[in-house]
Structure 1
Amino acid sequence: MIIPETPTNESFRIKALKSLHILDTESEKEFNEITTLAAHLCEVEVALISLVDSNREWYKSKYGISVCEIPRKYSFCAHAILTPEKPLIISDTRKDPRFHKNPFTEGDQPFIFYAGIPLIDHNGFALGTLSVIDSAPKTLSDTQISSLKALANQVIILFELNKKNKDLEKMQGKLKHRNETLKEFAQVISHDLKMPLANIITTSDVLKLKLTKYLDKETLKYFDYIRHSSFSMSTYINDVLDHYESDSLIQKEPEQFLFEDLLREILNLLNISSNCTIQFPKNTQTLNCNRLALKQILINLIGNSLKYNDKEKIHINIDTSEDTSYYRFKITDNGMGIPEEKLKTIFDLFATANTVDRSGNKGNGIGLSTVKKIINNLGGSINVASTMGVQTTFEFLIKK
């Protein structure tokens, strides 16, 4: 018996093999189907997908034998990877000095016939073989050899797909960790900023009250600027918190309720003025869904219909319907509208329509992003249609 030599590129080859993250992984159907097919195509007793590690030959898939690995010094595959440009085919291993008195050429199930197709990755490294083995001398036809080569290519493709999936899972894990860290950071910072902002607002109001008779009107306006800016910052902080805390809404259990009751509750919160007319759905509908999440969605959308409206009389129409799988909601207003070029990005985080609201304040681009995030998490979708200066319609679905 001749112990297999070590390839000249061994350190790089082992590094390429390890990078696949496939050694010692569980059996997989896709690989097992290939070894089964190889055994039937070549009419042999054994078929293997073998990988040559530093000191062993390990089987990712095996057909016809029960062992999972063997020492590298006894490996047929370790000889095959020394000439990766061609298959290693031996009709009778007992007559080959490399395998004379090899433990696997003897015993109850001897490896007499061997054919190994090197598994070569995209960098040219021979990682192992797709091999077929029998306990009697044998030859393969050209068609059988071509078929084995085609199957070997499929093994490499599966290796690469597995690697990409593992890399993707690793990246997703890192992104999830970073997102959780960012979420915690945003919550801590937002909460920590709320009290100083409240103090700034209160202090500026007290100073303005005390200094009114000593300062002229133009100077006193600076206190209004401070107050206005502080409230804008407070709104921004609240929107950031709502965005990062929206995930917790999805954990709430579905409940049954009247949609009209929810709308009345929302309108009371929004403190609707007398110049606003809101048309409720014609039919009272009973819903069975995540009430708190739907409430947050509607507060944002109806609130926008009120804020981004330049008409003397505000009109908002709310409609709802359902099918076997979804609840459908539609909110139409006679507001300012959204520019056509902004419709595709209006749901992106921090994207705005570059317009100011009814009070002259500019949006921060968080509210609609939060709405879309909640709706997507509820298994639904949202769309918007708008005509500048005429109306805007938001239509969304949530899964029952």
Structure 2
Amino acid sequence: MIQPAQPINEKERLNALSSIELIKDIPEEEFDNITQLASYICKTPISVITIVEDEKNWLKSNHGGPPITEVERKYSHCGHAILEPGILMEVEDMRKDLRFYNNPFTTLPESPILFYAGMPLLDNDGFALGTLCVLDTKKNKLNDAQKKALKNLAKQVEKLFELRRKNRYLEKIKQELDDHNTLLKDFAGVVSHDMKMPLANMIITADLIKARYKHNVDEKGQELLLNLKKSALKLSDYINGILNHYESDRIVASKEVEFDLHHLLEDIIDLLNINDRCEINFPAENIFLKCNRAALEQIFINLINNSIKYNNKEKIIIDIESAIDENHYYFTVTDNGIGIPEDQLSNVFKLFKTLYITDRQGNQGNGIGLSTVKKLVESLHGNISVSSVLGESTSFKFDIKRA
């Protein structure tokens, strides 16, 4: 018997093998199907997919063979096969081959392995990671069609290996992105929270200076104090938007509850302290819902608040409609506001993308509120869209999945 030598690129080959992260000792149907088919085509009782490691061969799939999961590499047939990547190794009678004539598997008293045909399994860089092989307990010889089929089946195993490697790589990248995203969320939350108090102090201080020293500050100074307050309020609104955006993940985790739509909208009107200059028309038919109430409430708060802010009419009118089917709840929020230019409709849901329109106080949006709405709608397995007539109306339609 001759022990198999190591390939000259053994270190690189083992590194390539580890990158696939194959699972040991757990049967996988896609591999077992291939060995079963190989055995059937080649008319051999045994077919295995072997992985050649540093000191062991382990069997990723074992069809018809002894109930073993690994073999010492020095006794393996596949250790010899991988020395010639791309070439099918066939041994018709192990007893007549110096490499195997007194191998423990050749000299078994019952069911000795006398025939072997193995095709090395290569990765994209040409490293031989193992073999797809067929074995028999008697002398044998594959015909040309069987050899071609065994090579084609080996190509399928190689594709499974590459798919596994890519999936593992993508999983690691996703985990890294999730970790970075979590860090960014935490950072944004901490920074935004810590900035709220200094901004509040700036706003209060500006008001105190105007009130206490109004006779000592000239008109230009009063204007500068007003600009300071406006800037602080705008930054405060921006920070609140960021906090709400990242808080949406926590809102989505809220439990589903049963409630009626009219009651939800009444609570929102009380919360927003809406006055008589704003008319909000509820759906004609009240519907009962079972879903994430906190998330739906946040969606309506943002949409209704936008309808009020971006409206230059003496009488603000907001119409809310609803519908229901077996799988979804459907909602529409329409206002008689300033509308959105057609060329900007595609940007309304993009985070930090501001539109070239101002609200009732002449302030420009921060590009966070509607992005948060879209994020919440999609987390509830729904979709949202917008249509608008400039100077006349804007309509948001969205749906969410029923519990």
Superposed, 1:54-93 pairs within 5 Å as 54-65=54-65, 66-93=67-94
What is the number of residues matched between the two proteins? 400
**Cα 1:38–1:393 shift into 2, 3 Å:** same
Instruction: Please tell me the residue identity of whatever aligns with 2:128.
Output: A
Query: Partners of 2:345 and 2:3 in 1: how far apart?
Result: 69
Query: Partners of 2:289 and 2:23 in 1: how far apart?
Result: 52
Which of 210, 216, 219 is the aligned partner of 2:218?
A: 216
Superposed, 1:154-169 pairs within 5 Å as 154-169=156-171
Query: Partner of 1:118 in structure 2?
Result: 120
Gaps of 5+ in 2: none
Is the counterpart of residue 15 in structure 1 residue 11 in structure 2?
no
Query: Partners of 1:376 and 1:303 in 2: how far apart?
Result: 20
Query: Partners of 1:221 and 1:273 in 2: how far apart?
Result: 29
Query: Partner of 1:228 in structure 2?
Result: 230
Which of 338, 347, 350 is the aligned partner of 2:349?
A: 347
**Cα 1:345–1:157 shift into 2, 3 Å:** farther
Query: Partners of 1:123 and 1:338 in 2: how far apart?
Result: 54
Contact 2:355 2:364 survives alignment (8 Å): no
Contact 1:23 1:58 survives alignment (8 Å): no
Query: Partners of 1:387 and 1:94 in 2: how far apart?
Result: 87
Secondary structure class of the residue paired with 2:176? helix
Query: Partner of 1:97 in structure 2?
Result: 98
CA shift at 1:357, angstroms?
1.3
CA-to-partner distance for each residue in 1:96-123, whole Å, 9 max, x for gaps?
1111101111212321110001111111
Superposed, 1:34-45 pairs within 5 Å as 34-45=34-45
Query: Partners of 1:20 and 1:288 in 2: how far apart?
Result: 44
CA shift at 1:338, angstroms?
2.3
Which of 301, 304, 328 is the aligned partner of 2:303?
A: 301
Instruction: Please tell me the residue identity of whatever aligns with 2:96.
Output: K
Is the counterpart of residue 179 in structure 1 residue 184 in structure 2?
no
Secondary structure class of the residue paired with 2:149? helix
CA shift at 1:264, angstroms?
1.6
Which of 257, 263, 266 is the aligned partner of 1:264?
A: 266
Instruction: Please tell me the residue identity of whatever aligns with 1:41.
Output: I
Instruction: Please tell me the residue identity of whatever aligns with 2:148.
Output: S
CA shift at 1:312, angstroms?
3.1
**Cα 1:43–1:392 shift into 2, 3 Å:** same
CA-to-partner distance for each residue in 1:187-222, whole Å, 9 max, x for gaps?
111111111111111111111111101122221111
Instruction: Please tell me the residue identity of whatever aligns with 1:71.
Output: E
Instruction: Please tell me the residue identity of whatever aligns with 2:332.
Output: K
Contact 2:39 2:47 survives alignment (8 Å): yes
Query: Partner of 2:243 in structure 1?
Result: 241
Secondary structure class of the residue paired with 1:352? coil
Contact 2:86 2:119 survives alignment (8 Å): no
Q: Which moved more, 1:15-24 or 1:105-114?
A: 15-24
CA shift at 1:315, angstroms?
2.1
Secondary structure class of the residue paired with 2:138? coil
Q: Percent identity?
A: 47
Which of 370, 373, 378 is the aligned partner of 1:371?
A: 373
CA shift at 1:24, angstroms?
3.1
Instruction: Please tell me the residue identity of whatever aligns with 2:230.
Output: H
CA-to-partner distance for each residue in 1:215-257, whole Å, 9 max, x for gaps?
2222111111111111111111111111111111122222222
CA shift at 1:167, angstroms?
1.1
CA-to-partner distance for each residue in 1:322-381, whole Å, 9 max, x for gaps?
001111000111222223333233212112222111211111111111111111111211
Query: Partners of 2:339 and 2:23 in 1: how far apart?
Result: 58
TM score, norm. by length of structure 2: 0.96
Which of 279, 287, 290 is the aligned partner of 1:288?
A: 290
Instruction: Please tell me the residue identity of whatever aligns with 1:40.
Output: Y
TM score, norm. by length of structure 1: 0.96
CA shift at 1:53, angstroms?
1.2
Which of 324, 344, 350 is the aligned partner of 1:322?
A: 324
Which of 360, 363, 370 is the aligned partner of 1:361?
A: 363
**Cα 1:23–1:257 shift into 2, 3 Å:** closer
Contact 2:302 2:373 survives alignment (8 Å): yes
Instruction: Please tell me the residue identity of whatever aligns with 2:9.
Output: N
Query: Partners of 2:105 and 2:340 in 1: how far apart?
Result: 76
Query: Partners of 1:125 and 1:257 in 2: how far apart?
Result: 62
CA shift at 1:25, angstroms?
6.4
CA-to-partner distance for each residue in 1:141-188, whole Å, 9 max, x for gaps?
212111111111111111111111111111111111111111111111
Query: Partners of 2:388 and 2:22 in 1: how far apart?
Result: 52
**Cα 1:23–1:268 shift into 2, 3 Å:** closer
